[in-house]
Structure 1
Amino acid sequence: MTAISEKQNAGNRTYIAQGEYAIGDGEEVVISTILGSCVATCLWDPVARIGGMNHFLLPEGPAMRSDVSSFGAHAMELLINSLVRHGARRERLRAKVFGGAEMYKGLTDAGTQNGMFVLSYLARENIPCDGQSLGGTLARRVEFMPALGKARQKLVPDASLVVEIVPVTEQTSDLELF
């Protein structure tokens, strides 16, 4: 087995987008994604040498939405359950987490909420977090080698333009429209 994915992969390299996840067990397998305020969790079992990555948008969402894999708790369970179905042991899982940037200053704190959610989820589930890169204002490109438990990130400087949302104040003028 090399890459197992919920989506079509390109050989040993799989790109995941928001709401997706992929797992793999070959040393040549690489799973990648690009994150802003979203969070990616890389989980692996060092004994079974299998791991995977998810990419979620928000900690929670409406229960009736069809894209529930875009939300934290569901995305985490999908990834964990898939790893266990393919030979990982839940009690041996290790994690590394990335993302949660503040991409739009003053508009939302979704990135912070995502980071807090994933860390509290891992603590609650007794999954050790061996590494994290959360917060900041830069987007990240993350690559994960699931069989080895190795991850690397590259900050994306072109995304460093944090947009500051300034509230519009009502202005008065001598112009009357009718």
Structure 2
Amino acid sequence: MTSIPREPFRRITVMQGETRVSDDPEVVMTTILGSCISACFFDPFAKVGGLNHFLLAEPGHGGTDAASMQRYGVYAMEVLINAMLALGAARASLRARIYGGASMHDGLRDIGAANAAFARRFLKDERIMLVGEDVGGHDAKRVEFRPTLGLARCRTAAERTIVAYRPRMPSSPVSTGDVEFF
């Protein structure tokens, strides 16, 4: 009787608006990013790490409810820090890596660059050492993070094809009975 080999790692997928932390050496956290940012925090001494995935840096001037706050970096970063401290990490030992922040749509506001700038500013203001990053570009990224070791791998998820859209207009209106198409 042959046994099925056991995969050495337990994968946890982190979706937009989520934060996960772990002190389990068999955990690998994964996420896929476009203009969003994921911050991977780890404490090399406590062997604790975590990953968040946020859509926008900060809410606008309108009111936001508690459920929508999960989309914002200002909230996601604090949740990640607090969850790590609850697992025994020391704030002074935290290290960070940031990923994502792609410019996914030509001609529109570069949300990815704003998200990356927010993440860098937050880390600087909170005195958390940034030890690695892969932000910007035009392609989606797939991140795998080993939280207890602080190791991360970031790969391009798919090549982006830029398609210029030009509506085709017929040279003359087409008429059929009482309905005119143009």
**In which range does the TM-score fall when normalised by the shorter chain?**
0.7 to 0.9
For each residue in 1:53-83, what CA deviation from the matched residue of structure 2 results, as whole angstroms up to 9, or x when unmatched? 0000000125423221110100000010010
Change (3 A) 1:165 1:109: farther
SS across alignment from 1:154: strand
Alignment of 1:78-93 (within 5 A): 78-93=79-94
SS in 2 for 1:75: helix
**CA deviation profile, 1:13-58 (whole Å, cap 9, x unmatched):** 1001110011111221101000000000000111100000000000
- Aligned ranges 1:21-170 → 2 under 5 Å: 21-61=19-59, 62-65=62-65, 66-158=67-159, 160-162=160-162
Distance 2:89 2:132 in 1: 20
- Conservation of the 8 A alpha-carbon contact between 2:58 and 2:73: yes
Report the CA distance between 1:107 and its aligned residue.
Answer: 1.6
CA distance in 1, matches of 2:57, 2:112: 10
> Within 1, Cα distance between the matches of 2:117 and 2:149?
26
Aligned partners of 2:63, 2:86: CA distance in 1, in Å? 25
Deviation at 1:152, TM superposition (A): 0.3
Task: Report the CA distance shift for 1:19/1:148 in structure 2 as closer, same or farther (over 3 A).
Answer: same
Aligned partners of 1:13, 1:133: CA distance in 2, in Å?
A: 21
Q: How many residues were matched structurally? A: 162
Query: Residue by residue, what CA displacement relative to the aligned partner does 1:102-133 show, whole Å, maximum 9, x if unpaired?
Result: 11111221000000000000000000000000
Provide structure 1 residue ranges, at least 5 long, that are not aligned to the other structure: 1-10
The percent of aligned pairs where both chains have the same amino acid is 42
Secondary structure class of the residue paired with 1:126:
coil
Q: What is the root-mean-square deviation in Å for CA atoms of aligned residues? A: 2.2
Counterpart residue type for residue 161 of structure 1: T
Letter in 2 for 1:49: K
- AA aligned to 1:86 is L
Displaced runs of 4+ in structure 1, greater than 3 A? 162-166, 173-177
TM-score, length of structure 1 as denominator length: 0.83
Letter in 2 for 1:84: L
- Taking structure 1 as reference, are residues 94 and 63 closer, same or farther at Cα in structure 2, changes over 3 Å only? farther
Q: Secondary structure at the match of 2:132?
A: strand
- SS at the partner of 1:22? strand
Contact 1:40-1:97 at 8 Å conserved across structures:
yes
Structure 1 residues 59-68 or 14-23, which shifts more?
59-68
Paired letter, 1:151: A
The alpha-carbon distance between structure 1 residues 146 and 27, as it changes in their structure 2 partners (threshold 3 A), is same
Secondary structure at the aligned position of 2:17 is classed as: coil
Given that 2:23 and 2:87 are in contact with CA atoms closer than 8 Å, whether structure 1 keeps it comes out as: no
Q: Which has the larger radius of gyration?
A: 2
